[in-house]
């Protein structure tokens, strides 16, 4: 199991909140007051790595349950009812049950982390998430020794989600992680963005964030978490296994069959901005490469 991530920043590294919101300073992470810096060491050394605006993050996103256009989720997700919200945690855990979102939050330590976000469609952002480590939630319910994977499921509300009338995917949306990936300290359940509750179009009230994987791996509006022995299904992998592997790690050397993954377009950088080189594991190679020692990352993509 991975060691807990150690924050090396101090109070002197904290960017003033007003400057943070106005994008006036280069961001390398936050510290103090329970806020953990989270940019990868390899990425933090690069220039121009500042968070996207709240408007960019919340108006340009994928959430196919509300439509396949980039702006469809922002237009349609207001229909989603998120209070009350219950998450079923079951399978190979000591304390299975239906947990209210409020009860989960009462047991977790919420902090702010700035993560790179890379979409399989070759665009990227930098997002300041609020949330807690998935490992803390799993430890709270007790992971049994024979659990090898964690399976996730998104809410399915046909009356609230106009996009599920399409057959682009089999619903509900499902995803999965290996247990060591789930327990890694970078893996978090996000509940907010920029210190505000996470908007519905971004996966309210709680979504997975795995920053070294393509964005579709970070399943939104989670209603079920199951600890299992066998590799669980993942929606895009089931829909098109040739194009979307179970692991979905950001790897610039493994192209999507229909486009290159060697570079990415940073949202907010302008229509004619130069594309940026894509970093291995989205810049988190030093933190997570050890999870895949001995694996052929072209076969297990």
Bind-site residues: 64-65, 119, 154, 202, 207, 218-220
Do the beta carbons of residue 25 and residue 15 sit within 8 Å? yes
Q: How far apart are CA 287 and CA 111, in angstroms?
A: 19
CA–CA dist 155, 215 (Å, integer): 18
Alpha-carbon span 37 to 19, nearest angstrom? 16
48: tokens are: 């121009």
3-state secondary structure of 184: coil
Strands 188-193 and 123-133, how do they pair? antiparallel
For tokens 């994977």, the residue is: 149
Dist CA 141 CA 197 (whole Å): 24
- Please state the φ and ψ torsions of residue 22, each to the nearest 5 degrees: -90, 0
Task: Report which of 153, 245, 279 is spatially closest to residue 208, judged by C-alpha positions.
Answer: 153
Annotated binding-site residue numbers for Mo-molybdopterin:
64-65, 119, 154, 202, 207, 218-220
Query: What are residue 277's phi and psi, to 5 degrees?
Result: -65, 140
Q: How far apart are CA 98 and CA 63, in angstroms?
A: 25
Query: What span, in angstroms and rounded, lies between the C-alpha atoms of 114 and 119?
Result: 16
Q: How far apart are CA 80 and CA 221, in angstroms?
A: 10
- Which residues partner with 129 through β-bridges? 113, 193
Task: Round the CA-based radius of gyration of the chain to a whole number and report it.
Answer: 18
**Nearest Cα to 135, choosing from 174, 98, 189?**
189
């Amino acid at each position: 199991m991975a060691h807990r991530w150690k924050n090396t920043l101090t109070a002197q590294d904290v960017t003033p909140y007003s400057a943070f919101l106005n994008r006036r300073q280069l961001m390398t992470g936050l510290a103090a007051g329970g806020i953990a810096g989270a940019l990868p060491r390899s990425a933090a050394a690069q220039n121009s790595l500042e968070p996207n605006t709240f408007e960019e993050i919340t108006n340009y996103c994928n959430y196919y349950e509300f439509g396949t256009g980039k702006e469809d989720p922002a237009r349609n997700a207001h229909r989603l009812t998120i209070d009350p919200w219950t998450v079923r945690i079951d399978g190979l855990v000591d304390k299975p049950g239906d947990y209210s979102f409020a009860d989960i939050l009462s047991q977790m330590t919420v902090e702010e982390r700035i993560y790179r976000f890379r979409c399989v469609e070759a665009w990227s952002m930098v997002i300041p998430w609020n949330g807690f480590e998935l490992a803390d939630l799993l430890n709270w319910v007790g992971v049994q020794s024979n659990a090898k994977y964690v399976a996730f499921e998104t809410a399915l509300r046909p009356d609230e989600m106009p996009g599920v009338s399409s057959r682009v995917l089999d619903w509900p949306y499902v995803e999965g992680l290996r247990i060591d990936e789930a327990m890694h300290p970078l893996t978090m359940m996000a509940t907010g963005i920029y210190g505000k509750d996470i908007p519905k179009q971004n996966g309210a009230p709680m979504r997975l964030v795995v920053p070294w994987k393509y964005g579709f791996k970070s399943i939104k509006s989670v209603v079920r978490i199951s600890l299992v022995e066998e590799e669980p299904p993942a929606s895009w992998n089931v829909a098109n296994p040739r194009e979307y592997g179970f692991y979905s790690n950001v790897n610039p050397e493994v192209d999507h069959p229909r486009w290159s993954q060697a570079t990415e377009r940073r949202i907010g950088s302008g229509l004619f901005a130069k594309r940026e080189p894509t970093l291995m594991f989205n810049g988190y190679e030093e933190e997570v490469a050890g999870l895949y020692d001995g694996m052929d990352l072209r076969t297990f993509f």
